[in-house]
Amino acid sequence: MQRARLHYGHGTDNAADDAAALLAFVLGLDRPLREADLSRRVSQAREQTFSALLKRRIAERVPVVYLTGRCWFAGVPFFVDQRVLVPRSPIAELIEARFSPWVDPERVRRVLDVGTGSGCIALASALAFPSARVDAVDISADALEVARVNRRQLGLSHRVRLLRSSYFEALKGRRYDIIVSNPPYVGAAEMRGLPAEYRHEPELGLASGRDGMDAVRVLLREAASHLAPSGVLVVEVGNTEAMVRRRFPRLPFVWLQFQRGGGGVFVLTAEQLARAAGE
Ligand X SMILES: C[S@@+](CC[C@H](N)C(=O)[O-])C[C@H]1O[C@@H](n2cnc3c(N)ncnc32)[C@H](O)[C@@H]1O
Interface residue with ligand X among 11, 63, 87, 187 (CB under 6 A) is 87
Closer of 121 and 267 to ligand X (Cβ) = 121
Task: Count the Cβ atoms, other than its own, within 10 Å of residue 170.
Answer: 13
Taking the complex as a whole, the smallest distance from the CB of residue 152 to ligand X amounts, in Å, to 18
Q: Partners of 78 in the beta sheet?
A: 71
Q: In whole angstroms, how close is the CB of 92 to ligand X at the nearest point?
A: 9
Ramachandran region, residue 212 (left: φ > 0; alpha: ψ -120 to 50; beta: rest): left
Does 182 participate in binding ligand X (rule CB under 6 A)? yes
204-230 burial, b at 16+ Cβ within 10 Å, e below that, comes to bbbbbeebbbebbebbbebbbbbbbee
Q: How are beta strands 227-236 and 265-269 bridged, if at all?
A: antiparallel
Q: Identify the CA nearest to 50 among candidates 33, 68, 77, 70.
A: 68
90 lies in the site for ligand X, by CB under 6 A: no
Does 11 help bind ligand X (rule: CB under 6 A)? no
Considering beta carbons, is residue 20 or 120 the nearer one to ligand X?
120
CB of 85 to ligand X, least distance (A): 4
Q: How far is CA 248 from CA 125, 168, 241, 245, 252, in A?
A: 28, 21, 11, 5, 9
Comparing C-alpha atoms, which of 166, 161, 113 is closest to residue 139?
Answer: 166
Check residue 183 for interaction with ligand X (CB under 6 A). Answer: yes
Q: Does the protein bind ligand X through residue 205 (CB under 6 A)? A: yes
The Cα–Cα gap between 166 and 160 comes to 18
Q: Assess 128 for contact with ligand X (CB under 6 A).
A: no
Q: Tell me which of 22, 132, 137, 234 binds ligand X, using CB under 6 A.
A: 137
Judged by CB under 6 A, the stretch of 21-29, 63-71, 111-119, 124-132 that binds ligand X is 111-119
In the complex, least distance from residue 143 CB atom to ligand X, rounded to whole angstroms: 4
Give me the least distance between CB of 226 and ligand X, in Å please.
13
- Number of residues engaging ligand X in binding (CB under 6 A): 23
Contact at 8 Å (CB) between 122 and 152?
Answer: no
Q: Contact residues for ligand X (CB under 6 A)?
A: 84-85, 87, 89, 114-118, 120-121, 137-140, 143, 166-167, 182-184, 204-205
